[in-house]
């Protein structure tokens, strides 16, 4: 049993939220702390990033905090994202466009109600080789609720894929066995990210505990097992995207309207190593964390001047990151992990 794992490349995290302002300055340094050198940055700021100029300005703010990270940038799908903007974005080095169904999660009020108006945008993305990142849920309505919202979305994934077969699509943060199966049934241009926290959580872990509440919500034990099987399978369609989502502690403690998001950035690689180790699948860890996502996204990155080593040793997750009203509670606060990230 390995006690030390030295990664040939640091972790590539293909779903990262770091917000802006004071929260950004608190969270960005934890990207490297978690073993990550490539961070795929989400655009759901307030207001959302709907222009090339706004995305590039945000990237500059991130680089001012930690220039050692390769920030891969995205636009927020909205009526402003026309084919002309797609061509401009591709020329500027922007990699993807994130699609949020309206109202399903944090800062999704400007999101999509119908996908049909965006077909010309998807065609331009297909032409430019840009990636469409789908938050795969339908808004709650009638028979649709948080536990089946992802499964109800899957026909939309398959429809977009059939209309634009060369468009690279990522179904973000899979939470269900149905989502895993749908991604497998699609062609090689469709892949999926799996978070660290969904390798541990089921409905029992967040019902009554707002710090484990995220969107899409964790579901049933059979769904968690499907995610673990996919993540440890060696199938390159499935790779790491933490969906690490920081919120001030007060916004997570609300009795009503608690913010959706689990913060895992500080211990990203350690959490995943813990889950893989429990299954005896550490030999599958590096491809999932480091290789498959880079291959799908065709990442050309600056060579990091540091190495990530995972060591089997006691590692207690601190109860808070930061101080005061802006502090953030990490995933598994106060609990002991058996793996620790070391940057050398």
Task: Provide the CA 103 distance to its chain's centre, in angstroms.
Answer: 18
Helix or strand run (H / E) with residue 255:
none
At residue 109, the pLDDT reads: 72
Q: Is the preceding peptide bond at 250 cis, omega within 30 degrees of 0?
A: no
8 Å CB contact between 265 and 30: yes
What is the torsional sign of CA 312, 314, 316, 322? Answer: negative
For residues 2-6, average pLDDT: 94
pLDDT reading at 300 higher than 70? yes
For residues 305-329, average pLDDT: 96
pLDDT mean across residues, the chain: 96
pLDDT reading at 1 higher than 70? no
8 Å CB contact between 41 and 58: yes
pLDDT tens digits for 161-215? 999 999 999 999 999 999 999 999 999 999 999 999 999 999 999 999 999 999 9
For residues 81-99, average pLDDT: 98
At residue 108, the pLDDT reads: 67
Pair of tokens at residue 294: 């880079």
pLDDT tens digits for 138-154? 988 899 999 999 999 99
Tell me how far CA of residue 249 lies from CA of 53, 210, 322, in angstroms: 32, 10, 10
| Residue 183, phi then psi, degrees to nearest 5 | -65, -40
For residues 2-26, average pLDDT: 97
pLDDT tens digits for 34-70? 999 999 999 999 999 999 999 999 999 999 999 999 9
DSSP structure string for 42-80: ----SS---SHHHHHHHHHHHHHH-TTSEEE-EEEPSTT
């Amino acid at each position: 049993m390995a006690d030390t794992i030295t990664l040939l490349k640091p972790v590539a995290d293909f779903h990262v939220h770091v917000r802006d302002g004071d929260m950004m300055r608190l969270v960005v340094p934890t990207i490297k702390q978690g073993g990550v050198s490539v961070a795929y940055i989400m655009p759901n700021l307030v207001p959302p990033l709907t222009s090339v100029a706004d995305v590039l300005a945000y990237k500059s703010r991130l680089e001012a905090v930690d220039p050692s990270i390769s920030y891969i940038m995205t636009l927020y799908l909205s009526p402003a994202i026309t084919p002309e903007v797609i061509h401009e974005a591709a020329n500027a080095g922007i990699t993807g466009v994130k699609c949020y169904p309206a109202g399903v999660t944090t800062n999704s009020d400007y999101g999509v109600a119908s996908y049909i108006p965006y077909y010309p945008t998807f065609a331009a993305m297909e032409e430019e080789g840009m990636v469409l990142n789908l938050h795969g849920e339908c808004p709650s309505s009638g028979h649709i609720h948080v536990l089946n919202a992802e499964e109800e979305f899957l026909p939309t994934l398959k429809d977009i894929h059939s209309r634009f077969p060369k468009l690279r699509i990522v179904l973000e943060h899979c939470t269900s066995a149905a989502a895993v199966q749908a991604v497998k049934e699609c062609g090689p241009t469709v892949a999926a990210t799996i978070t660290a926290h969904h390798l541990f959580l089921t409905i029992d872990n967040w019902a009554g505990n707002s710090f484990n509440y995220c969107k899409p919500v964790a579901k049933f034990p059979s769904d968690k097992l499907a995610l673990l099987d996919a993540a440890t399978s060696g199938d390159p369609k499935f790779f790491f995207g933490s969906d690490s989502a920081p919120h001030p502690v007060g916004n997570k403690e609300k009795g009503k309207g608690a913010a959706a998001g689990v913060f895992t950035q500080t211990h990203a690689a350690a959490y995943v190593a813990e889950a893989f180790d429990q299954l005896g699948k550490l030999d599958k860890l590096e491809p999932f964390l480091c290789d498959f996502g880079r291959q799908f996204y065709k990442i050309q990155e600056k060579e990091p001047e540091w190495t990530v080593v995972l060591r089997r040793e006691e590692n207690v997750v601190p109860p808070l990151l930061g101080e005061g009203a802006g502090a953030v509670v990490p995933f598994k606060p106060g609990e002991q992990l058996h793996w620790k990230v070391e940057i050398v």
